[in-house]
Amino acid sequence: MKYKKKKNIKYPFSDISSVVSYTECTGLTQFIPETEHEEESFRSIYDIPLSTDEVKQVREKEKDIKKY
């Protein structure tokens, strides 16, 4: 009778080095954006929530655009 080889349950993610990006889809960034350009770049890639001040600014811009 052959015995089946048991899986190594102690280290279920032992092959983690094969992952392309461990920060992808986690919302984690490598660093805090220091400039507006960096922040805009992150927002174009990731869904980063706006602060309340930024929401007000966006709404004001939308109102101005609708006037014309």
- 12 by Cβ neighbours in 10 Å (0-12 / 13-18 / 19+) ranks as exposed
Instruction: Using the Cα atoms of residue 45, residue 46, residue 52 and residue 58 in order, give the sign of their dihedral.
Output: positive
pLDDT at 32: 73
Domain locations in the chain as residue ranges: 33-68
What average pLDDT values come out for the chain (68 residues) when binned by 10 residues? 67 60 60 80 77 82 78
User: pTM here?
Assistant: 0.34
pLDDT at 48: 73
